[in-house]
Amino acid sequence: MERTSPDPPRIIQGDLVVAIALAVVLGLIWAARNWAGLAALRLPDTDDVMRLQQVRDWLGGQAWSDLVQHRLGMGTPMHWTRVADLGPAAMLTLASPVLGIHDAERLMVVTWPIMLFAAALALVGRIARALEPEASRTAMVIAAIAYPATTIFAPGRIDHHGLQLVLLLAATRVGIAMPTLRNGAILGGLAAVSLMVGLETTPFFIVLGGATILAWVLQPSIAGARMVGVGVGVPTGLAVGIPLFASAQWRYPACDGFTAQAATGLAILALVPLALGVAAPRLTTIRARSIATAMLSLAAFVIVRAQSPACLSPYGQVPMPLRRLWLDHVGEAQSALSAAPVVVVGYLGVMLAGLAASIWVAKRYPGRIAGLLLALQVTALLITLVQLRGAYSGAMLGAPALAVMIGAARRRGTGWVVAAWTVSAGMLYPLVGAACASAFGHAEAPSSVANGAACATPAMMASLARLSPGVVMAPIDTGAWGIAATPHRFVAGPYHRNIEGNLAMYRFFLGDRGQAQRIARRWGVRYVLYCDGTMGGVRPRPASLAQALTEGRAPGWLRPLDARRQPILFEVAR
């Protein structure tokens, strides 16, 4: 069933055409449905608008290595790199002389996610073709509707998640290819690039690296070259990437992105396959190779723990009060074990169906490719139990096995085909979850509205943009929208490195009027923006400023600038 011989160019070109057609058609449909928001650059997520602003700042003269958002808090070093800025920035550079900057930005926020979507679908097709040739284009269709993965490729989604998923799919395709030195080096290089983009897919690359080593333990003459390639590819990728993409905040004491600690940890792990490759001639038995692998892996873990301690807790610097008030309420950072049922069904539905299909494929057609895909899906499930964002990868990785299952169903009759397509249609699961939540009276999942997105209405942002520049105190999610839409600086924003600003915002609204006034003076606040229900589910105390504003009892030092009831905009009296 599994194939390792290369496909003819016409097959590859045909798959690419299908992938592009699916991505363009679906992308344009999604863009049309949300055109009013996209045309106004009202992007789907706070990270998307902040990415747009980061690209604007760079193209506007901010230094390549300066990743500080200078209008957030006291100046917040972002945990991103320029890698994910390159595509959007290139499109703006090419299009803005012809279209003007605003229309160029409109074109970019629609086109860039569609391009990534096409790449992801093409890679899913290539993975499926290696598993079973006839399943390739079916797998692309399944991946095209594989909620929630499709949400990160919707027009407007210019953040790094789509790029990371493409890199993971590319690494998976290389991981199931011929075990050559070249393919191993590419896999190692992709691991380094993925780290430069973000940490979310690191567990998958650890599994891919572990599978490479396991293959060598079992078949050293076949898999040895690929293992050495991985050991060479990672440090080579880091050696190229650090001078190019390490920010001025490279030594920030965290392991939440492309930092010194994170890169050191990855480099240490890469020493394991490299050292095993050097020692391979002396390791002539499975027992010897297994013992050497276990000892080196344990040593690498101990060294990583000593050299990169922050990697054991990427959000370790966020204080507990801020975690309870904000971080625990971020949708994709929630655990599937604690999320609302409607979210669990929607996020895990097609991923679990794909996992079940992969188990069936691995049992019926045992082999390296099926086993590796199953291991990656189990990894996605484990990540999802900690943070829902793991479902993005799990939904896409299940598409090849689901396509094989549909092919088998075709041979059994129409009823089987209908059933197979039904369980494979990822877009149905959020509808089922919503129906079940409605039928059984379960509450909807908490959304970003609870943290301030409702304050960032287009009308309010337009009102703010007309005011003289100043410091704005507003709920946490409002900051990202406000920075992109206005000239102001915001105290709070949904980024974990902005600890002081975010804590100051919660203390401002949840404390009494006297405390709020002192914080406003300390931060030089000129404007205050507030709307009901913006404290992340925390019920404000009766004496708090938030409660006073909700009841229309603003203190005298806040002068109303907008007569509407909600949101409320004030200027701080001098």
**Buried b / exposed e along 29-66 (16+ C-beta atoms within 10 A):** ebbeebeeebeebbbbbbbbbbbbbbbbbbeeebeeee
Q: Tell whether the torsion through CA atoms of 252, 256, 258 and 264 is positive or negative.
A: positive
Whether residue 209 lies inside any domain: the answer is yes
Query: Residues 460, 376: one domain?
Result: no
pLDDT, residue 329, reads 76
Percent of the chain with pLDDT over 90: 77
Whether residue 431 lies inside any domain: the answer is no
3-state secondary structure of 537: coil
Whether residue 444 lies inside any domain: the answer is no
Whether residue 67 lies inside any domain: the answer is no
Burial class (CB in 10 A: 0-12, 13-18, 19+), 517: buried
Whether residue 235 lies inside any domain: the answer is yes
Give dist(CA 414, CA 499) in Å, integer.
57
Whether residue 433 lies inside any domain: the answer is no
Give dist(CA 476, CA 121) in Å, integer.
35
42 φ, ψ (degrees, to nearest 5): -90, 90
Query: Residues 342, 487: one domain?
Result: no
**What digits encode the pLDDT tens for the residues 26-65?**
999 999 999 999 999 999 999 999 999 999 999 999 999 9
CB 543 within 8 A of CB 489: no
Whether residue 253 lies inside any domain: the answer is yes
Whether the predicted pLDDT of 450 surpasses 70: no
Whether the predicted pLDDT of 444 surpasses 60: no
**What digits encode the pLDDT tens for the residues 348-406?**
999 999 999 999 999 988 888 999 999 999 999 999 998 899 999 999 999 999 999 99
The single residue listed with the structure tokens 């079973």 is: 132
Quickly state the pLDDT bin for 456 (edges 50, 70, 90): confident
DSSP state of 6: P
Residue 308, token pair as written in the block: 């990169």
Prediction pTM value: 0.93
Query: Residues 405, 507: one domain?
Result: no
pLDDT, residue 534, reads 66
The single residue listed with the structure tokens 């509407």 is: 564
Query: Residues 458, 382: one domain?
Result: no
pLDDT, residue 313, reads 78
CB 85 within 8 A of CB 63: no
Asked if omega into 542 is within 30° of 0 (cis), the reply is no
pLDDT, residue 448, reads 42
Whether the predicted pLDDT of 2 surpasses 80: no
Longest Cα separation, the chain = 82
pLDDT, residue 449, reads 41
**What digits encode the pLDDT tens for the residues 6-37?**
678 888 899 999 999 999 999 999 999 999 99
Whether the predicted pLDDT of 1 surpasses 60: no
Q: Tell whether the torsion through CA atoms of 156, 161, 165 and 166 is positive or negative.
A: positive
Query: Residues 118, 213: one domain?
Result: yes
Whether the predicted pLDDT of 447 surpasses 50: no
pLDDT, residue 445, reads 46
**What digits encode the pLDDT tens for the residues 102-125?**
999 999 999 999 999 999 999 999
Query: Residues 418, 454: one domain?
Result: no
Q: HEC states along 265-329? A: HHHHHHHHHHHHHHHHHHCCCHHHHHHHHHHHHHHHHHHHHHHCHHHHCCCCCCCHHHHHHCHHH
**What digits encode the pLDDT tens for the residues 235-268?**
999 999 999 999 999 999 889 999 999 999 999 9
Residues contacting residue 379 through CB under 8 Å, at least 6 positions apart: 203, 204, 207, 390
In sequence order, what E strands does 462-574 have?
A: 471-473, 489-490, 525-530, 558-560, 568-572
pLDDT, residue 307, reads 87
Query: Residues 418, 457: one domain?
Result: no
What residues make up the domain containing 187?
9-40+79-422
Residue 246, token pair as written in the block: 């390490």
The distance of Cα 171 from the centroid of its chain, to the nearest Å, equals 17
Residue 494, token pair as written in the block: 């949904």
Query: Residues 396, 486: one domain?
Result: no
Task: Please state the rounded mean pLDDT for residues 448-465.
Answer: 76
Give dist(CA 411, CA 326) in Å, integer.
51
pLDDT, residue 566, reads 66
Task: Please state the rounded mean pLDDT for residues 156-181.
Answer: 96
Q: HEC states along 345-377? A: HHHHHHHHHHHHHHHHHHHHCCCHHHHHHHHHH
pLDDT, residue 452, reads 58
Our CA dihedral for 218, 220, 223, 229, rounded to 10 degrees, sits at 130
Tell me the CA distances in angstroms from 124 to 30, 121, 153, 260, 400, one per residue in order. 21, 5, 14, 33, 7
pLDDT, residue 289, reads 96
Give dist(CA 23, CA 276) in Å, integer.
42
Give dist(CA 401, CA 355) in Å, integer.
8
Query: Residues 530, 414: one domain?
Result: no
Q: HEC states along 12-38? A: HHHHHHHHHHHHHHHHHHHHHHCHHHH
Whether residue 101 lies inside any domain: the answer is yes
**What digits encode the pLDDT tens for the residues 297-353?**
999 999 999 988 888 777 767 888 888 888 877 777 788 888 888 888 999 999 999
Query: Residues 129, 33: one domain?
Result: yes
Task: Please state the rounded mean pLDDT for residues 481-497.
Answer: 95
Query: Residues 362, 504: one domain?
Result: no
Query: Residues 514, 401: one domain?
Result: no
Q: Mean pLDDT in the chain?
A: 91
**What digits encode the pLDDT tens for the residues 141-153?**
999 999 999 999 9
pLDDT, residue 551, reads 87
**Domain tally for the chain?**
2
